[in-house]
């Protein structure tokens, strides 16, 4: 996977750096495939500042760009952060958090969020992901594109 575009925001106080990568034309892709039955591929953004690829047919989740995405303050981000996923292309995720809505990621009440594409045939879709220090576009510190591709041959 080649990163085409990266949105990086460094806080002005010498604190955290926030990074989400991928572009609308070349999103980060998580793939899962299966010979029979079902496949699932997606992304989890965790309260510890990391991003994981989530796949049904691969053992364990895989951390994506360790030490970089979504913040360099892994494993203990400071402050409050929200995350939002909006439809970009293809099919919307079949499971996970609600699209087009801010979700508390860190701070009091924060929780992991995920979006996953599951199928018994073929499915693919991409999202634009934003991380903000407020629950609105006003505090956006990083933007990136993430895709899920699942197929059963």
Write out pLDDT tens, residues 48-85.
999 999 999 988 899 999 999 999 999 999 999 999 99
Q: Is residue 97 part of a domain?
A: yes
Q: What is the mean pLDDT of the chain?
A: 91
CA distance 66 to 50: 7
Residue 138 in tokens: 């006003």
DSSP state for residue 145 in the 8-state scheme? E
Burial class for 109, CB neighbours closer than 10 Å (0-12, 13-18, 19+): exposed
CA distance 37 to 26: 28
* Domain containing residue 133: 20-152
Q: Is residue 138 part of a domain?
A: yes
Residues in contact with 23: Cβ distance below 8 Å, sequence separation at least 6, in sequence order = 4, 5, 145
Q: Is residue 13 part of a domain?
A: no
Q: What's the predicted TM-score (pTM) here?
A: 0.90
Q: Is residue 120 part of a domain?
A: yes
Residue 4 in tokens: 């085409």
Helix (H, G, I), strand (E, B) or coil at 62: strand
Q: Is residue 81 part of a domain?
A: yes
As for how many domains the chain has, the answer is 1
Q: Is residue 131 part of a domain?
A: yes
Q: Is residue 4 part of a domain?
A: no
Q: Is residue 45 part of a domain?
A: yes
């Amino acid at each position: 996977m080649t990163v085409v575009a990266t949105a990086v925001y460094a806080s002005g106080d010498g604190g955290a750096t926030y990074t989400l990568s991928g572009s609308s034309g070349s999103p980060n892709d998580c793939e899962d495939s299966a010979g029979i039955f079902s496949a699932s591929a997606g992304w989890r953004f965790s309260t510890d500042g990391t991003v994981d690829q989530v796949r049904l047919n691969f053992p364990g989740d895989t951390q994506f760009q360790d030490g970089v995405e979504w913040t360099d303050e892994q494993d203990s981000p400071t402050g409050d952060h929200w995350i939002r996923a909006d439809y970009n292309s293809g099919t919307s995720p079949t499971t996970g958090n609600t699209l087009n809505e801010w979700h508390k990621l860190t701070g009091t009440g924060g929780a992991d969020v995920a979006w996953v594409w599951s199928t018994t045939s073929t499915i693919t879709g991409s999202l634009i992901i934003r991380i903000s220090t407020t629950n609105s576009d006003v505090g956006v510190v990083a933007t990136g594109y993430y895709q899920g591709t699942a197929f059963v041959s």
